[in-house]
Structure 1
Amino acid sequence: MKQNKDNQNKKQRSGFAVMCGLIGMIKPLLGIMCLAILMGCAGNLMATFLTILGGYALLTVTGVYSGMRLSVIFTLLVCFAVARGILRYAEQASNHYIAFKLLARIRHQVFDSLRRLAPAKLDGAKKGNLISIITSDIELLEVFYAHTISPIAIAVITSVVMTIFLGRIHPVFGVLALFFYVLVGAVIPVVNGRIGAAGGKEYREAFGALNTCVLDNLYGLEETLQYGQQEARIAKMAEQTGHLETVNGALKRGENLQRVITDGVILFAGVLAALVGGTLAENGSIPGSGAVIAVIALASSFGPTAALSALSNNLNHTLASGNRVLDILEEKPLVEEVTGKEETCGQNIHCDHVSFAYANTQESGEEDGRDVLRDFTADFTEKRIHGILGKSGCGKSTLLKLLMRFYEPDEGVIAYDGTKIGEINTAALRGGISYVTQETFLFHDTVAENLKVAKEDATEEELERAARAASIHDLIMSLPDGYETKIAELGSSLSGGERQRLGIARAFLHDADILFLDEPTSNIDSLNEGMILRSLKEECADKTILMVSHRKSTMGIADDVLEM
C-alpha cells in the first residue's frame, strides 16, 4: 500500500460535529462548567429583574401598582445589582479558568499528535499552516470555551424561566416570548452560521497560507536578493494578504447584516408585545400594570439570546479553527509505534525484496506515486562500514528512513538480527541507532544544549570528545562563550558545514551500536572530511555503519560499497 504524505486528513465536519468534538474535551472540568452556568443564569435573570423591579417601582410611585412596598422594591434592586456584579465576575472567572486549562491540555495533545505523526505525515507539510494551527487556531478556541458553551446553556435556561414568567401574566406573552427567543437565539445564528461557515474555513486556510508565505520569504531571503526576486516575493505576499482581506471583508459584512437583523427583530418584538399588551388590557384580560411589566420583561430579557446571535459571528472562525485542530488530533500516523515487543535492536540488517513509493494525494483525489525503491535486497553485517553510493533520487536517503521505520515498505521485509522491524519496540529501534541527516537542525540554544540532544546527561569531557571526533571542537572554542555560546535561530549563525559537523558530533555523543550517515560530508571541505572519516574509522570499530553519499571520496573508509 502506498504511503500518503499528506500532513492532514481533512474531514468535512458539520458545525455541530465540531462543537461536539470540542465539548467532549470538557469532561475533566464539567463540575466547574456547571457552576459557571448556574452563576450565569442567576446573574442574567437578576439583570432582567432589575429592569422589571424598576417597572414595579414606577408603577408603585404612580399608584397603579400596590403589590409591594417601595422600600422592598429598592432593597431588592440593591441586592440584585450587587449580586449581579459578583455573579458576573465569578461566571467569567470560571469560564476563563476552564478555557485556559483546556487550551493547555489541547496544546499538549496537539504536540503529542504531531510527535506520533512525525516524520512521515509531516514530510513536506506546510510549516506556516502548522504554526497557525498550533498558535492562533488553538488560541481561538478560548472564545468557544469561555464565551460559547456557557452562553448557550444560559440562554436556554433563562429563556425557559422568562417564558414561564411571561406566560403566568398571560399565555399569549409566553408564546410570543418563546417564538422570539428561538428566532433570535437559534434561527438567526444557525442561518448565519451556515452562510458564513465556508467563509470562516476559507479565512483560516488563507491565514495559514499567509504564514507559510511569510516564512518562505524570511528563510529564502538570501536567494531572493541574489536572484532579484524581491518584487515577485512581495507581490506573492500581497496577493495572499489581499485574499485574506477579501475573505475577512465578506465575513464582516455578514456580521453587520446579522447585527442589524437581530436588533430589528428585538425592536419588533417589543413593539408587538406593546400592541398585544394594550389589546389585552383594553379587553380586561389583564390589568394595565401586568401589560406594562410584560412589555418591560420581554424587552429586557433578550440579553442572553442576543449574545448567541452575536456569537455566531465569531463562531465561524472558531469552528473552522476547531475543525483544523480536530484534524490534527484525529489524524492516524502512517507508522504506528510498536510497544511490548522485542526490546533490543541487533546490528545485522537484512533487506529482502523491499519496494517503496511515496504518494502525493492530488486535489482530484488520485494518487500520483513515484517508485523510489523497487525489489531492493541487501545485507549489512555487523561491525562493518557499509557505503551506499548513488546519484540523487535513487533512494539512498529513503532506504535509511525505512531502516529507521519512519515509513513502512510497500513490499518486502526489513529485519535486524532476524527480527522483523515491525516486531521491535520503536523506542528500542531508534534508541539503538545514531542517525545523521543531510540537514542538521539546531535549536536556538547553546552549543552544549544542542549537543546534549543526543545525550541529556553528557559531561563536559564527553561533549569535548565528541566535538573533537567531529573536527568542530576548535571552532567551538573560538566562539565568544565556547560551548555556552548561543546559536542563532535555525543555526543561521553557522555555515552548512559547521552545522553538519555538529550533527556528526551528536552521533558520536549518542554512541549507539548502529550509525546511519546521510551525506555526512556533503558540506564539508576535504581537509575536515578526511579528519571526520578517520575518526569514524577509529572511534566506531565496533559499530555497524551505513554511510550514504553521492561522492566517491566519502567511500574511502568503507569496507564494502553498494551502488544504487
Structure 2
Amino acid sequence: MHKSNRQILSKLIVFVKPMLPVMVIAIAMGTIGFLAAILIPVLGAQGVVHIMEGRTLRTIVIAMAACAVLRGVLRYAEQACNHYIAFRLLAHIRDLVFGKLRALSCAKLEGRDKGNFISLITSDVELLEVFYAHTISPVCIALLVSAICVAWQASMHGVLAFIALAGYATVGIGIPFWLSKTSAKAGKAFREQAGAQNAMVLESVRGMKELLWFQAANRRKEQILQSTKELASKEKKIKQGMAKGVSATNVCVIAFTVLTLLASMALARQGMVVSDVVLMAPMLMISSFGPVIALSNLGTGLAQTLGAGERLLDLLEEEAAMEEVEDGADAAFGSIAVENVDFAYGKERVLQNFSTQIPKNRILGIQGKSGCGKSTLLKLLMRMWDVDEGRILIDEKSIQGINTRSLRRHESYVAQETVLFHDSIARNLRIAKADASDEELVAACKKASIHDFIMSLPQGYDTPVAELGSSVSGGERQRLGLARAFLHDGDVLLLDEPTSNLDSLNEGAILKAVDENKAGKTIVLVSHRTSSLQFADTILKMEKT
C-alpha cells in the first residue's frame, strides 16, 4: 500500500524519541549559530552607517569576529549532535530490520530477491541519514530563526515583516511542497530499480560460470546495461527536480531581497522608518534565508530518502506468516501426527486432506515426484508455515501451541543444499550450538564422516570457508551440514533431499552416517531416489494433488 510523504515522515520521526534530548541541544546550537551568521552581514551594514557618520568601527569589528567564531563552533557542535543521532538510529533501524527478517521467517522470504534485501539493509537504511542528520533539526532551526527574523523586521516596520514572512514561507514551504509532488514517486521508483539491479548483479556473479560456459555473458551484460540505463533515467528525473528547486529558490531569494530593499526605501522616503533601515532590512533579509534554503531542497533531496523509508516501513509493517509462540507448551517430541492437512502457496494447492503418522525413534522415508509436497511437509513440521486446514500434532499437542524455541531445539534440519558462511569451519558448525566444545565438534564431524577431511586441511577446523561454501565440494558441504545437525542433536532429524546433487559415493557416506547415528532419533528422510530410502523403516509415497 502506497504511503503519503506525511505518513512516511511521521512514522520515521517516531524513532527519534530516545534521542530527543540530544536533538534539542542540536536545535538550540543550530539556532544560535545561524543567528550569529546572520549578524555578521547585518553588523557590516551597521558598520557602513558608522563610517558615513564618522563613528569608530572597533566594537562592530570585535562583534563580527566573535559571531564568526561562534558560528563555526556551534555549526560543528550541531552537526556532531545530528550525526550522533543519525548513526545511533541507523544502527537501531538495522537491528529492527534484521529482527523483522527473522520474524518473517522463511515463509515470507523464500523466493524474494536477495539483492533487493541487500539494497534494503545497506543503502536504503543509509539514505535515512539524510532525514535524521539533515532534515529534522534543520526544519526546527528554520522555524525558530525565521520567527526571530520576522519579529526583528517587525520591530522596524510591519510591511517588512510581512515580506519576510512571505519569503520564508515561499522558500521553506511552497517550493518543497511543489517539488515533493513531482519527485515522491520518482524516489521510490529509483530505489526499487536499484534493488532490482543489485539482485541482477548478484545473480550474475554467482552464475558467472554458467554464463561463460553457455556463451550467455554478452546477453547478460546487455540486460545489466539496460537496467543501468533505466536506473540512470530515473535518477535523471530526480536530478532535474533538484535543479528546478535550486533555480526557483535562487529566484525567490533575490526577488524578496529586492522587494525588501524597495519597500524600505519607500518607507524611508515617507519618514516611516529611519534611514539605517534601508541598509539593515535587505541585509537581514538576504542573510536570513540560510535555514529555509536548506528546506527548499527537501522536496527533491528527500525523494530517494522517502522512497527508501517507505520500503523499510513496508518491511517493518509486514505481517509474519506465523507468529512465534513464547507462552505455549514445551514438547517432549514423541509421536508426530499429520491429520487432514490442506496447504497452498497462494492459489497453488500442494497438500489436500493429507494425513500420516511419524512413529518415534523410527526412520520414515518420503518418496514422490517433484512438486508433490515432500519438502513442504518438512517445512510444516518445522512450522515455517501454518496449515490452511487440518492439524499437526506432536505428543498429541497442536504444533501451533508449542513454544517456537522448543521446536527449534528439538528439530534438526539438513536441506538439499547446505549454506556455509564466509567463516571458519568451526564457526560454521557452531551455528547449531554456539557453546559447543572442540570435543563436541570433533564427535559430530566423526559421525558425519567429515573429520578426516577437515584434519587434512592446512588449518584444520580453523580453515576459512569461502562464501556459500564454494571452496568445498558438494559432498563435503552436505557432510558439514549433517555434522551441524548432529551437533545440534535434536530429537527429530529432518532430511530434505540431502543427497540429490551428490554422486553415489557421497550419497552412501551420508546415508551410512545417518543409519549409524539413528539411535534415539525420529528421522524423516525426503528423497525421489529409491536408493536413498534403503535404510527407512517405512516408506510413504506422495502424489501430486
Equivalent residue number for residue 290 of structure 2: 303
* 1:112 aligned residue (99, 102, 106): 99
Equivalent residue number for residue 405 of structure 2: 427
Supply the AA of the counterpart residue of 2:40. L
Quick check: 1:491 aligned with 2:478? Answer: no
Equivalent residue number for residue 216 of structure 1: 203
Equivalent residue number for residue 73 of structure 1: 60
Supply the AA of the counterpart residue of 2:32. A
3-state SS, counterpart of residue 328 of structure 2: coil
Q: Which runs of 5+ in 2 are unaligned?
A: none
3-state SS, counterpart of residue 344 of structure 1: coil
3-state SS, counterpart of residue 154 of structure 1: helix
Q: Name the count of aligned residue pairs.
A: 542
Q: 5 Å matches for 1:71-150?
A: 71-150=58-137
3-state SS, counterpart of residue 53 of structure 2: coil
**1:217, CA displacement in angstroms?**
0.3
* 1:527 aligned residue (490, 493, 505): 505
* 1:238 aligned residue (225, 249, 252): 225
Counterpart-to-counterpart distance in 1, 2:129 and 2:195: 19
**1:104, CA displacement in angstroms?**
0.7
Quick check: 1:24 aligned with 2:17? Answer: no
Q: 5 Å matches for 1:478-557?
A: 478-557=456-535
3-state SS, counterpart of residue 92 of structure 2: helix
**1:72, CA displacement in angstroms?**
2.7
- Cα 1:345–1:222 shift into 2, 3 Å: farther
Counterpart-to-counterpart distance in 2, 1:338 and 1:445: 32
Q: Kindly provide the CA deviation profile for residues 198-251 of structure 1, in whole angstroms up to 9, marking residues without a partner as x.
A: 111111011101101100101111111121111110011001100001111121
Equivalent residue number for residue 33 of structure 1: 23
Equivalent residue number for residue 42 of structure 2: 52
Quick check: 1:388 aligned with 2:375? Answer: no
**1:285, CA displacement in angstroms?**
1.1
Equivalent residue number for residue 147 of structure 2: 160
Q: Kindly provide the CA deviation profile for residues 15-57 of structure 1, in whole angstroms up to 9, marking residues without a partner as x.
A: 1111111110011110110110011011101111111111111
Equivalent residue number for residue 8 of structure 1: none
Quick check: 1:12 aligned with 2:2? Answer: yes
Counterpart-to-counterpart distance in 2, 1:534 and 1:305: 73
**1:452, CA displacement in angstroms?**
1.3
Equivalent residue number for residue 328 of structure 1: 315
Counterpart-to-counterpart distance in 1, 2:374 and 2:527: 8
Which deviates further from its counterpart, 525-534 or 389-398?
525-534
Q: Kindly provide the CA deviation profile for residues 438-466 of structure 1, in whole angstroms up to 9, marking residues without a partner as x.
A: 11100101111111111222223322222
Paired residues of 1:389 and 1:563 also in contact (CA < 8 A): yes
Supply the AA of the counterpart residue of 1:294. A
* 1:249 aligned residue (219, 236, 252): 236
Equivalent residue number for residue 460 of structure 1: 438
Equivalent residue number for residue 425 of structure 2: 447
Equivalent residue number for residue 33 of structure 2: 43
Counterpart-to-counterpart distance in 2, 1:12 and 1:266: 35
* 1:176 aligned residue (149, 163, 188): 163
Counterpart-to-counterpart distance in 1, 2:318 and 2:29: 38
Q: Which runs of 5+ in 1 are unaligned?
A: 1-10, 360-368
Paired residues of 1:469 and 1:532 also in contact (CA < 8 A): no
* 1:268 aligned residue (255, 262, 273): 255
Paired residues of 1:347 and 1:514 also in contact (CA < 8 A): no
Counterpart-to-counterpart distance in 1, 2:62 and 2:441: 75
Supply the AA of the counterpart residue of 1:464. V
Q: Kindly provide the CA deviation profile for residues 109-140 of structure 1, in whole angstroms up to 9, marking residues without a partner as x.
A: 11111110111110111111110110001111
Equivalent residue number for residue 4 of structure 1: none
Which deviates further from its counterpart, 167-176 or 222-231?
222-231
User: What is the TM-score with the length of structure 2 in the denominator?
Assistant: 0.97
Supply the AA of the counterpart residue of 1:560. T
Paired residues of 2:475 and 2:506 also in contact (CA < 8 A): no
3-state SS, counterpart of residue 172 of structure 1: helix
* C-alpha RMSD over aligned residues: 1.3
Quick check: 1:185 aligned with 2:172? Answer: yes
Supply the AA of the counterpart residue of 1:50. I
Shift >3 Å, 4+ stretches: none
Equivalent residue number for residue 194 of structure 2: 207
Paired residues of 1:358 and 1:371 also in contact (CA < 8 A): yes
Counterpart-to-counterpart distance in 1, 2:503 and 2:436: 28
Paired residues of 1:345 and 1:424 also in contact (CA < 8 A): no
Supply the AA of the counterpart residue of 2:517. E
Supply the AA of the counterpart residue of 2:488. H
Counterpart-to-counterpart distance in 2, 1:462 and 1:398: 31
Supply the AA of the counterpart residue of 2:275. G
Counterpart-to-counterpart distance in 2, 1:218 and 1:536: 35
**1:333, CA displacement in angstroms?**
0.6
3-state SS, counterpart of residue 302 of structure 2: helix
Paired residues of 2:331 and 2:394 also in contact (CA < 8 A): no
Supply the AA of the counterpart residue of 1:460. D
